[in-house]
Structure 1
Amino acid sequence: MSNRDVQFLLEDINLSIEKILEYTKYLTFEEYESDSKTKDAVERNFEIIGEASSRISEDFKKINQQVEWRILKDFRNFIIHEYFGVNDQILWDTIKFRLPELQIDILHLIKLAK
């Protein structure tokens, strides 16, 4: 896998993170929980994050272990296979506490891949 391919996948991940953060920026948990359109959009972007991360080479992942690649893929699988059982609080906590840190790591990797 070329650096350019990795860069595109990382940019897809970053774009999905940006969308999720934008969709939820001004919402409370209660507003998020009751807004099915936003929840659908957020879940779709988590799927994209997981799918893009699963396409990144194992060699790249081994070198860049600061990102929890396996968790990204597993989270995608959970959302897809548990579509009616997704816990809104888990998604919300991930958005508020984990995504900003992930975005910092992804942006750093994008710079390195250029």
Structure 2
Amino acid sequence: MAEYASNAPSKETFKIIGEAMNRIIKKDSTIQITNSRKLVDVRNRIIDGNDSISDDIVWGIVIKHLPLLMIEVEALINSSNCSREI
């Protein structure tokens, strides 16, 4: 259980990421980010109650999905897509 010691900050981070994805989806649906809708859904579940998302799910997302998100966001920043105001 020690590996989950920083889980609360991870959940807070998902709130921020999910809100950012929500705004991007609403502002410009042509911007493609893998699992963007799922990130918003995770944010909503966390906001509705932290206990509805298990530590295993949070940890799995951190390990399996955030590296791809980072790559995609960096690519957006470096592309002309980022020149549009979001």
Scaled to the shorter chain, the TM-score interval is: 0.7 to 0.9
TM-score (norm 1): 0.62
1:105 to 59, 72, 76: 72
Please give the alpha-carbon distance, in whole angstroms, between the structure 2 residues aligned to 1:66 and 1:74. Answer: 14
Q: Give how far 1:91 is off.
A: 0.8
In structure 1, the partner of 2:19 is 51
Look up the match of 2:57: 90
| Identity score, percent | 31
1:81 to 42, 48, 67: 48
Q: Does 1 or 2 have the higher relative contact order (CA < 8 Å, sep 6+)?
A: 1
Deviations 1:81-112 (A, max 9, x none): 13123211111111111110111011101112
Conservation of the 8 A alpha-carbon contact between 2:7 and 2:58: no
CA deviations over 1:16-57 (Å, ceiling 9, x no partner):
xxxxxxxxxxxxxx3233x2xx21111001000001111125
Aligned residues, how many? 81
Once the two structures are superposed, the pairs formed by residues 7-86 of structure 1 within 5 Å of their partners are 30-33=1-4, 35=5, 38-58=6-26, 60-61=28-29, 63-86=30-53
CA distance in 1, matches of 2:11, 2:33: 23
Ranges of 4+ aligned residues in structure 1 off by more than 3 Å: none
